[in-house]
Amino acid sequence: MPASPADLAVLGAGPAGLAAAAAASRAGANVVVIDGNSRVGGQYWRHRDGDTGRGHHHWSVLTGLRAAVPEFLGGHQVWHVERIGDGFAVHTSGGEVRCRALIVATGAYDRQLPFPGWTLPGVFTAGGAQALLKGHGVTAGRRIVVAGTGPFLLPVAAGLADAGAHVVGVFEAGSPRGFVRHPGALLANPGKLGEGAGYLRTLMRHRIPYRTRTTVAAAHGTESVSSATVATLDADWRVLRRREVECDAIAVGYGFTPQLEIPLQLGCATRLDADGSLVARADDQQRATVPGVYLAGEVCGVGGAPLSLVEGELAGLHAAWTTIGAAPDNARVGRLLRRRRANRAFAAALHDAHPVRPGWLTWLDGQTQLCRCEEVTVDRVRESIVDLGATDTRAVKLLARPGMGLCQGRVCGYATSCFVADACGRQPTEQDLLGVAARPIAQPVTLGELARD
């Protein structure tokens, strides 16, 4: 733990945080990187001890960045950040860290949509199934169905198949043909296209069917999942046909939700992104709307590891400029801004090709749990709207308790907001999502840690 305040504390050691820390450190700033995980790399480079990088993309980028980061506090969950004088106090599970400026690069987590049976053991988020594999070498099951929307389903299925699981199929609710509306964005990012083609080759090698306009609309089983209803969908995701497939695990993902607790604790302004996520606002220097706070990576919009790297470097260069006066090289900044534009165009194309369509609400029955922590069913949420007159997510939360449990709305917040908005005949708003995203304590914390700080 540094004795005097660091120039910069970087929260998150994924691609964005590492790139930020490396850039600021090379510019001469005194930087500390903090992450709840004991290893650097974030979601993209999640790995095990002794991992040599086999099977990881751009591993040498990770090792280069790691070498440029002098101080890493792994296993430190940040649960609150507050402004103290000219700087900040970062409260972590390992104690308090003081800094003059802050770069928040806390990434994102799986966005989930509920469906009947989704709380059965054996139903995983796609990211959860991948984290088990990358972090622990464990496959989520032996006979696995992968479903949801977005290109992330591909590395999940490919990884599971390569590790020996039988992947029954990849069921993509959307239609990736939407990408053809954005030829410029695709051509400017040949690396991502190549990566996608590599995953498809792996699926073909393992004879894994890839079906579009299809998803898992229900899971069945007693003790744990034993089968899934695979539904063919119309363009709005209403079910056209159903069939049942046997499986012992389901991995489902509908994109990602940016992890905004820290920016919201600090009062940073937000906006709705093209994929319907709440994201924190950042300018061309990656500055948040709060002085001294910089943002990088998926907290400012889900867009993939290359975009996170670019935003991280921009944030690190500008934060070093503000804190120690090391002016960045203009030509370098210009190149980074051009790459940011190209990567953001790619992300927008991706969101346009893989939107979450409202028909998913028709998969639910009255007993489907919207909030699994507090076991709040669809019927109870509907009652709070129809009988008790709630018209927004926050009121529904107070009346029916979705989002009041252990996860504090991380899992159910997006789906509950969509459900409430639909029941009230409108689209989910920034306010709806804010009502389930603000958490004064970002991570579970023990009473001992609270007392110590």
Ligand X SMILES: Cc1cc2nc3c(=O)[nH]c(=O)nc-3n(C[C@H](O)[C@H](O)[C@H](O)COP(=O)(O)OP(=O)(O)OC[C@H]3O[C@@H](n4cnc5c(N)ncnc54)[C@H](O)[C@@H]3O)c2cc1C
Could you say whether residue 343 binds ligand X (CB under 6 A)?
Answer: no
Those residues whose C-beta lies under 8 Å from the C-beta of residue 385, and which sit 6 or more positions away, are 391, 396, 420, 423, 424
Nearest to ligand X of 33, 173 (CB atom): 33
**Spatial separation of the C-alpha atoms in residues 65 and 63, rounded to whole Å:** 6
5, 14, 148, 413: residue in contact with ligand X (rule CB under 6 A): 14
Part in contact with ligand X (CB under 6 A); list of ranges 123-131, 235-243, 354-362, 405-413: 123-131
**Spatial separation of the C-alpha atoms in residues 418 and 400, rounded to whole Å:** 16
Q: What type of residue sits at position 214? A: T
Nearest to ligand X of 217, 296 (CB atom): 296
* Residues listed for the chain: 453
Could you say whether residue 43 binds ligand X (CB under 6 A)?
Answer: yes
We find the least distance from the C-beta atom of residue 53 to ligand X, in angstroms, to be 14
24, 101, 105, 158: residue in contact with ligand X (rule CB under 6 A): 105
We find the least distance from the C-beta atom of residue 122 to ligand X, in angstroms, to be 18
Q: Is 375 left (phi over 0), alpha (psi -120 to 50) or beta?
A: left
Binding-site residue total for ligand X (CB under 6 A)?
35
117, 155, 355, 403: residue in contact with ligand X (rule CB under 6 A): 155
Part in contact with ligand X (CB under 6 A); list of ranges 124-132, 234-242, 339-347, 366-374: 124-132
23, 88, 99, 107: residue in contact with ligand X (rule CB under 6 A): 107
Where are the alpha helices (H) located in 146-233, listed in sequence order?
153-162, 183-187, 190-205
42, 114, 122, 174: residue in contact with ligand X (rule CB under 6 A): 42
Could you say whether residue 413 binds ligand X (CB under 6 A)?
Answer: no
**Spatial separation of the C-alpha atoms in residues 215 and 172, rounded to whole Å:** 6
Instruction: Provide the β-strand partners of residue 84.
Output: 87
Range 53-82, binding ligand X (CB under 6 A) = 77-78
Residue 434 φ/ψ, nearest 5 degrees: -60, -35
12, 141, 263, 276: residue in contact with ligand X (rule CB under 6 A): 12
Residue 33, both tokens: 């990187």
Could you say whether residue 255 binds ligand X (CB under 6 A)?
Answer: no
Residue 338, both tokens: 């051009």
Part in contact with ligand X (CB under 6 A); list of ranges 214-222, 304-312, 399-407, 425-433: 304-312
Is residue 321 packed enough to be buried (19+ CB in 10 Å), middle (13-18) or exposed (0-12)?
Answer: middle
139, 229, 270, 308: residue in contact with ligand X (rule CB under 6 A): 308
Part in contact with ligand X (CB under 6 A); list of ranges 31-39, 139-147, 269-277, 279-287: 31-39
Could you say whether residue 16 binds ligand X (CB under 6 A)?
Answer: yes
Could you say whether residue 443 binds ligand X (CB under 6 A)?
Answer: yes
- SS3 label, residue 45: coil
**Spatial separation of the C-alpha atoms in residues 292 and 287, rounded to whole Å:** 8
**Spatial separation of the C-alpha atoms in residues 394 and 171, rounded to whole Å:** 33
Where do the DSSP E strands lie in 313-406? 369-371, 376-377
Residues that bind ligand X (CB under 6 A): 12-17, 34-37, 42-44, 77-78, 105-110, 127, 130-131, 152, 155, 256, 259, 297-298, 304-305, 308, 442-443
